[in-house]
Structure 1
Amino acid sequence: MTEATALYDVPGPHARRRHALYGVLSVAVLLTLAAWILYLLFETGQFTSAKWMPFAYQGVQELLLRGLADTLVAFAIAAVLSLALGVVLATGRLSDHRPVRRLATVVVEFFRAMPVLVMIFFVFVALKARPLPALVAGLTLYNGSVLAEVFRSGVQAVERGQREAAFALGMRKTQVMANVLVPQAVRAMLPAVISQLVVVLKDTSLGFLITCEEFLHAGKLIASNLDYDLPFIPVVMVISPIYIGMCMLLSWFAGRVSRREQRSPRAEAVAHATAGPGALLPGGEPPMAPRP
């Protein structure tokens, strides 16, 4: 039995025809839905030259580019600070000192429970911060707390025996974390980390509620302009693919980093060092028994 068919039976002729029919029906439904949406857009005049003319103006193009640049800046700062805060809080939650562990737990649970928009408004209104720092602060507090749980669960997911073996070899806790636990946990945590960074990127759009001049705010200014015949739908059709493209690019980058991490000599060394008796190494061969 091959690897592809180990978990399920190979479909027979009737099942293959049924699956093909389901596929054809699904495609037909999607094409019908797309055609209906296009009909509504044409019927309401969303493709008229008056609604798309603003994008030909240099001022509108510069406004969108400035908004996109501000979005990327806010995302970059919030992503770096969220990762740093997540590492600090996860370290606190994994601490052997009970007061530190409890304090980190309270901070994580508090900011995870708070809506990110509430935190952004609190920093903006109560602390009288400027829009961009308020946006970055709210995103950092929320996403850093979420990432702290991702890091903590990733480290704790590593087999307990490897931690005990490392301590038995005389390693300190810092050495165990850096050389044994973290290299293995990173590969398990990476998909969740990247998913949370995508959330950070999308949540930068909340900045328009506090007049932060990011990408969505620029689109709102264009869509609400009476001189441009309120081109709301054209603005959405321009901005949405850019947001989707940035998220897809981030996911692609994460996949590349993950594949590179799996091929790295350090990851292979950790796998060889922690493979138990009878375990298969990445090459598919069992570890060699020590010579007498």
Structure 2
Amino acid sequence: MTQSTSKEQLAALSHNQRERLTYLEFCLYFLGEFRRADLMARFSIASAVATRDIGQYKLLAEQNLELHQSSKAYRITKQFTPVFEHRLEQVMGALMQGEGYGVEGSGEAMLPCEYPSILNRPQLPILGAVTRAIRAQKLLRIRYHSATSGEQERLIAPFAIVDSGLRWHIRAYDRLRERFIDLVITRIVNAEVLDDYPKKHELPTADIQWNRVVELELVPHPAHNDAAIAELDYGMANGVLNVQVRAANAGYMLRRWFVDCSPNHVLQDEACRLWLRNGIALYGVESAKLAPGYVSP
């Protein structure tokens, strides 16, 4: 199919069909597969309409998908090349928060708004390989650039994406280091989903830090005289904000909100508005090393 023909075919699509085909491609790209029933459920359309949509997508990019008869699912091929534009913010919103996904938008707000720019931006082909591996619960072969050991090949079993507020990383079992670790997605320079599955000790159920939930008691920082302001800002009840978080993510959360985790609230910084009252809750939490001021007892 020539480039000009492709543009003509895209221009001929109705808004509704473009919406459905964009969602179809999203499922292929980031989940690895889709079924006719997925289109029917997402858009409340009849089976015949879903069949026509699949046929239309084949006309646009037949090399992108193949039907597996045993599961009745269309799966991504190694020749996959996206037809539609997929914005990172929209992709991550759909993957992490279940937001609706459809026609690519301009990203314009409905009201005047400002929000921090995203500086840490994963490449979509890498992100797609990661999410497909997570969805299929398969191993992922990557080339990863580490700050300590440089670039090297790793075999990992990823099972979750984490937004730390500053970057996106994946939680995975790393066969090179033989333990569960966090890997920054932007440091992955190549990724390939394998047909192999993790072993029992590589599954998320074996990740103690991931499955442990800690309860943190955050209070207004004693060094400030405006405790009432902090209580309003953070919606505290009786002067305390109780937060439950996975041990694997606790340090990231405390660093993001710049919570003073020192035993005697010694951090002197106007930006530090909160103090962790029950620092003992971080005992044995590996990510606590990221928490501002934290000292292991």
- Please say whether Structure 1 and Structure 2 have the same fold, judged by a TM-score greater than 0.5: no
TM-score between both structures, scaled by the size of structure 2: 0.21
Higher relative contact order (CA 8 A, sep 6+): 1
